[in-house]
Amino acid sequence: MSKSVLCIGATLVDELYFCEETIVPNSSNPAQKVSSIGGVISNIVQHLALLDVEVSLITALGSDSDAAYITDSFQRMGIALNDSIIVADSTGKYVSILNPDGSLNVAVCQDISYKYITVPFLESKAAVLIQFDMLLIDTNLAPDTIQWLIHFAKAHSKILIIEPVSVPKASKLASLDLDGVYMITPNEEELLVLNTLTAGEEEHIKTLHQRGVAKVWLRKGAQGSVIYEGHHTTSLAVPSIQILDSTGAGDAALAGWVFGYVEQEEELVCLQLGHALAFEILQLKGSVDFTISKEKLYKIKNTYYHD
């Protein structure tokens, strides 16, 4: 039976500025601009829709041309926005400055989801939430909203995955009750702020398990990634590839993993699918590969991982 996924979080317009030369601080730098729909959750939703996963989205949009652009694009992709909230505000925006090698130099984000996706709003949508097998949320939401969703998932036996987004936003989770979280997906920097303690990597992961998180998927960049589940670990290395743009690679990895999970693949294959989609994004300008399909993703996976 196919599993349904409900994603909850920020939807933004991404503006990426690719600098043509080494960035000179405190000065104007020549760059090329690429615009697209973004935000962690929306990047994931778009990839899941392209991979034919049954997915819906709850997000907050303004009453402006950016919101009209997003709504039209998502409707054409078959992404349901029926339960999202439209407000008299500006739609969120993410602006990033990238080095000539595609790595991120700095980014800023203006988001409205924390303000409008509130506990009362989600309580009014409880009958919708309960219909889905998996809830996937980001930390753009307010802490009390995240906490409500964790308790809701536990009470209704839902699979809940949290994407930490960034170091400042991941720190919201340090003081929350995480009992009921199926998986959390930090990178090495985000991991260190998920708990209040000052400790090393292993102690942070152990503490997250003690706090109720079933799986911790630690992303380690060029060193690959590891999924920790109790005393069991699943590790996967990454090949050396040419990076054009790092934006959205982590989001793609999670989308690939969720796709594998929905397809009832074993953990290692889910991880391989996640890595494969991330590799594809790292070699493109933008956060979404609009040519991706089930067949193409498995082909990419088999190119990098033969077992």
* CATH (domain of 111): 3.40.1190.20
What's the confidence (pLDDT) of residue 41?
A: 94
What's the confidence (pLDDT) of residue 307?
A: 63
Mean local confidence (pLDDT), 87-96? 92
pLDDT above 60 (res 1) = no
DSSP classification of residue 4: P
Mean local confidence (pLDDT), 124-129? 97
pLDDT above 80 (res 136) = yes
pLDDT tens, residue by residue, 74-91: 999 999 899 999 999 999
Mean local confidence (pLDDT), 161-182? 96
110: containing domain: 5-304
User: What is the maximum alpha-carbon separation in the chain?
Assistant: 56
* Encoded amino acid at 25, one letter: P
Is 33:17 a contact under the CB 8 Å cutoff?
yes
| Terminal-to-terminal C-alpha distance of the chain | 26
Q: How many CB atoms lie within 10 A of CB 261?
A: 24
pLDDT above 90 (res 17) = yes
H/E stretch holding 205 reads helix 201-210
Report the domain count for the chain: 1
